[in-house]
Structure 1
Amino acid sequence: MSDHHPIANHAVLILGMHRSGTSCLAGSLEEAGLYLGEVNTAAPHNAKGNRESRAIMSLQDDLLRANGGAWDAPPARVIWSSEHRARRDAIIATYPNNLTWGFKDPRTLLTLPGWLEALPTVRFVGTYRHPLAVAASLNARNGITLENSLTLWLTYNRLLLDYHRRFAFTLICFDWPPRRYHQRLLMIAPALDLTVPATGFAFFEASLRNNEASENKNPVRLAWTGLRGLLGKQPNRHKGVLPEEVESLHQQLQEIAA
């Protein structure tokens, strides 16, 4: 595909780690006119569905497997075979060339170079979440340990930061209070040539955050509740639980998104 292909010029990729608000961001942008195609609108761990294309998810799972990895065991490098490229191009061809379209799949952070080959003028928006909130959610959904969850958080969000440095896209934080989250959506939509809904964004609700029962509660504090079983009950064991590298990267993302 050339740099001027209409499909490439209208594409938007939503970047972010698993359990970090990619579904919420995709659903919100869909309200503003982003065409997602046929996506999952119901899932056990996503009240409004994960908004993922089964075809894209299947391709990326197969791609990671072919490179000796998986979403929860990222390979050191991802090489796209001719078969994977053909499947990618067939998927892209299903999207209309007269609409702003896009997709979300956290695996895209691991496979992005191959998408850039086909969509050189693609635009991005990114989302992140506090590492402990992600860890609590991954443990609840997949039984992944705190240590492994934080390692995954670091891997995915390093890539998010690297791509932000390269492409300078807007970031949003899934931990933000509803009002601030909505305010950022009001900035993101027009920047992507989307239209803010006349009645505002209704997709986002604080209850979409797993581990949070009320929008008045701090999602990170609630994540600690979910992590008690991982950390045990030893006094002060939770102190300093975040590795310095994780803490530093989270701080960088906060500063960029502020």
Structure 2
Amino acid sequence: MNTQSSTENRIIVVLGAGRTGTSLLTRILNILGMSLSEKEVPLSEQNPAGFFEDAEIVEIQKNFLSKLSCHPYLPFPVDFLKNQNISSFHNDVHSIVFKNINKTSTIWGFKDPRTPNLLPIWTRVFNKYKIVPKYVLTVRNPQSTVVSLHKQYGDSPQIAELTWLHRNCEALYHTGGNCFIVHYEDWFSEKAAMIGSQLLQYTGLAEYWGNERSVSDAMNDCVKPQLNRAVYNDYEIKNRYVIKLYSVLQNCHGDSFDRRKLMDVVVECRKAMAEFSGWPMMAQQFYRQQNRSVNQKTKKKLEAVEPKLQKSYEEKVQYVGDIQKYIIECKDLSDQNEHLRIRLSVKAKELQDTQRKLEAIEPELDRNRKELFTLKTSTSFKVGLILVKAVVKPGKNTLLFPLYLLRVLLASRAVKN
């Protein structure tokens, strides 16, 4: 664990309601020097440039919400900090935070739209381990946000408005308004470079920023006109508290703004939402029942198919066993083939050696064959052969010996003439 001074235990926390430019802001902070986790949430159609979200944080926060049986759009129960799963979530947060703090050479930061609801737990970790968080809140015109939430996730405009209001209020309330406020629309204006420079100072990233590159160039590389999706489609906000909060936020830029006025409106909005807390409670209860019903149906389906799954598993085990047996047999055959190949190679070499020897004695064999032929056709050989026959097989051969001898001599004389 990092036990150094609190000035060295710094974190940047990106907050936002979702579809408000949190990914773009995180990407900009990354270009300005903020370190991100090695394992990020993969790209998708919603964010083709990347989410820039820590996959571990997203996973543990989703799992914790599931254990709470809470929908991420709805307010949490007032006693959620007493939940038995808090300790486990606290430990997971602590582990991820210090793993990344100790690994980075600059300042580590993260973002996840679920974070505003869970800030009380994050705050406990920050306070316990003397971590200094720098909160950066990205705000987007609620008209654009509602249209984007409806387009990307199918959320109804009413739910999207409440999501925008709830998450912005939670982010501002739990940080006490001590944050740097960025407006999504400003990234696509002449203010972008100035905001980037202000973020360098606010977050502490300035000490890691070199002089070889201007902030303006960095913004031009990061902020592309085609990323600007601030389209309202003539939608009109219905919720008066959304209108009221955004009218105040429009005058809040950077970390220098009328914090008291902003927080007064935040408290007013949260109080208004609390007056209707019965509806969120019913919604959460319905959500839990639905999840329970879905889980029970899933359980029954699993129980129904369990015997088939078990049989399939056993068949696969047998199949794997057969495959392993075949692999062993194939290996044995391969070894035998290799042994035969070596033997054939040796025999081929011996055959080549024999062939060379035969080629070497072939001239001598030709001479011997010629000499033998000459010998067999000579008169002396023929006379000797007649004499041998007369001696070995007497009788006719002996009586005819003079005649045979005369014929050979006459033939020999004819050849000479």
TM-score, normalised by the number of residues in structure 2: 0.52
Aligned to 2:34: 34
Please say if residues 120 and 174 of structure 2, whose CA atoms lie closer than 8 Å, have aligned partners that are also in contact: no
Give me the identity figure in percent.
Answer: 22
Q: Which runs of 5+ in 1 are unaligned?
A: 213-218, 228-237
Residues 1:223 and 2:224 are matched in the alignment: no
Please say if residues 119 and 171 of structure 2, whose CA atoms lie closer than 8 Å, have aligned partners that are also in contact: no
Count matched residues: 234
Aligned to 1:231: none
Q: Deviations over 1:63-117 (max 9, x none)?
A: 2222221323342344362111121122113213343111011111010111111
Aligned AA (2:227): L
- Which structure's CA Rg is the greater one? 2
Aligned AA (1:21): G
Deviates more, 1:70-79 or 1:91-100: 70-79
In the TM superposition, residue 2 of structure 1 has moved relative to its aligned partner by 9.4
Q: Deviations over 1:26-85 (max 9, x none)?
A: 000000110111223622211211100111001111122222213233423443621111
1:81-92 equivalent positions in 2, closer than 5 A: 81-92=86-97
Residues 1:255 and 2:251 are matched in the alignment: yes
RCO comparison, higher one (Cα < 8 Å, 6+): 1
Aligned to 2:145: 134
Residues 1:190 and 2:201 are matched in the alignment: yes
The whole-number CA distance in structure 1 between the counterparts of 2:48 and 2:95 is 30
Per the alignment, do residues 158 and 252 of structure 1 end up closer, same or farther by CA in structure 2, a change over 3 Å counting? Answer: same
Residues 1:96 and 2:96 are matched in the alignment: no
Please say if residues 64 and 74 of structure 1, whose CA atoms lie closer than 8 Å, have aligned partners that are also in contact: no
Q: Which runs of 5+ in 2 are unaligned?
A: 258-417
In the TM superposition, residue 191 of structure 1 has moved relative to its aligned partner by 1.9
Greater share of helix residues, 1 or 2?
Answer: 2
Per the alignment, do residues 88 and 28 of structure 1 end up closer, same or farther by CA in structure 2, a change over 3 Å counting? Answer: same
Aligned to 1:205: 224
Per the alignment, do residues 115 and 7 of structure 1 end up closer, same or farther by CA in structure 2, a change over 3 Å counting? Answer: farther
Aligned AA (1:169): C
Aligned to 1:233: none
Aligned to 2:168: 157
Aligned AA (1:112): L
**Shift >6 Å, 4+ stretches:** none
For 1:70, what is the secondary structure of its paired residue?
coil
Deviates more, 1:28-37 or 1:4-13: 4-13
